[in-house]
Every structure is written in structure tokens, then in C-alpha cells.
Structure 1
Amino acid sequence: MIGCLIRLLSLAKNPEAIPAIQPLIVRELCYWILSDPQGQDVRRLVLAKGAVARVIEAVHYLREHYQHPLRIDELAATAAMSPASFYHHFKALTSMTPLQYQKQMRLLEARSLLAESSVNIANVAYAVGYGSVSQFHREYKRAFGGSPRSDVIIPM
């Protein structure tokens, strides 16, 4: 590790080499730190406070509260991030915006409820957080290719 630090500091003598060499030395330094016997402790510290861990906590929160209206600023606050930073990290981690993720959670839960037993479609729409049955129908059909009625189990 000391060799890495010396090479990193010596780059000050050749500033034109910094863009090419510095990332490699930093990567090597990270390798030595993380492969050390205490590397596991370092990883735990980094992940415990890192942006990924905080976004994962917000995802868990969103899964538990998907039926409630979504406010990005409140969700970002649960992750201790600014709304812009949270949005960026959330999308990088899930490949969806928070609103798209919430919509997916609502629709998957609705599909599950519809498949459980003969239920009222409007009640399912309201239970998963939709304020409009027609909006629920449109989004359900867009997501699953059929109307909610096609997934209702009819008792025999």
C-alpha cells in the first residue's frame, strides 16, 4: 500500500500523467485495502453509509407504502439525499424512476389480488393506491396486455 501511495504522490511531478495513471493507482490501492484482513470491516462501513444502501432502504420503504401517494422529496429524505441525487441513484440502481417503480409495485400487487379470488376490480384498484378505476384499467392493460377482468378468478 505504501508503494501505491508513493506512486500516487509522485504524480504531482508529472501532472499530464494524472488522468491516465491516477485511476489505476487508486484502483490498486482499493484492492489492497479491501483484500486486507480488515477489508471486510471497511466494506461494511462503506456499504452501511453508502448511497446504494440508502436507496435500498428507500426501495424497502416504497415496497411497504406503494399504495400511498409518492413524494420524491420525502422518499429522498428517507435516504438522506437530495431529491436530485436520490432520483439519479434510484434510477441507476433499479433502471426505473421512483414513480415507475411504484406503479409496477401497485400493478403487481393488483394482479396478485385479482388472481387470489373473485374480487371487485374497483376495490382492488383503490386498495393498491389508484384514485381512478379508469386509470387503473389503462395502466393494467398497458402493463399486462389484457384487462384486469382477464385475471379475475371466477369460482366454480
Structure 2
Amino acid sequence: MGCGKSTVGRRVAELAAAPYFDLDQMLEDSTGLTVGTYFARHGEAAFRALEARLLPEVLQPGAVTSLGGGTPVPEANWRLLQERARTVYLAAPLVVLLARAGSQATRPLLLGRSRQELEQLWRARLPRYEAAQGRVDAARPVEEVAEEVLALWDS
């Protein structure tokens, strides 16, 4: 959350003339609800289950896909990502991520959580993020990040 995955993903897809998929957008399109509304009505477990069901649809050869921050955490999702995708961790310090994430109203995982709880969540996910095949410093302008991601993809 806040690393720029959707913005960077769209730009990488443009630069590569590749199809682009956003898992959160696909979830919204399939349910008719925003991620925040879906989360509020059905809870995180239902959200993660739906996310896992939709994941295979967005992992298409040659496509660029943006995933939610929790998507790679479940082992089954991680195995699928390793089998069908090149993974890139858009890394940024927590303070940058929180500043970019903005309004709590649109970010369900921010609702009612203290800074300490958010840091614990981030640290819990870090080992999975750091296991990605590539890592890019995302605390830079989008164009620079997108070009570096594309360079990793082309290598």
C-alpha cells in the first residue's frame, strides 16, 4: 500500500506495450464494490479468498499485473506467482508508504490501526516481499521506477 504499484504497473505496461491487470480493480469489477466497501461488508478473510480465486486470471503471459500488498502472503498464492510470473518488490520506507497511502477511508487496512500495528503488518510481510525476483527503490519518481522495473523484466 502506497508503493505505487498501480501507477507504476500501468506505466510499465505502456512502456512495454503489454496488457495491464490490476487485481484490486478486477475484484471491484467482479463484485461491483470498492475494495473498502467489500472489506467492510465481508471482512478480510472473504476479501483474501476472492483475491486468491481471481489471481490466476490476472497472471497472463506477457502481462503486467499489480497485486494487493497481502496477495503474495498466502503460500498458495506465492507458489502460483513463482510458477507464472516474475515478481518485483517496489520497496520504500514505511514512512513514505504511509504518507502516500493517504486517506484511511479508502484503505481498509489502515482503519483503526495504530502506526505500531501498521509497522508490524509491514514487517510481517517483508520476508515475502524481499523474496521477489527483483527489487526496485519505489521512493523515486514513477518514471524512474517504471523504467527500472522494465529493465528487470527485459533482463
Q: TM-score range by the shorter chain?
A: under 0.3
**Greater helix proportion:** 1
TM value normalised by structure 1: 0.25
**Greater strand proportion:** 2
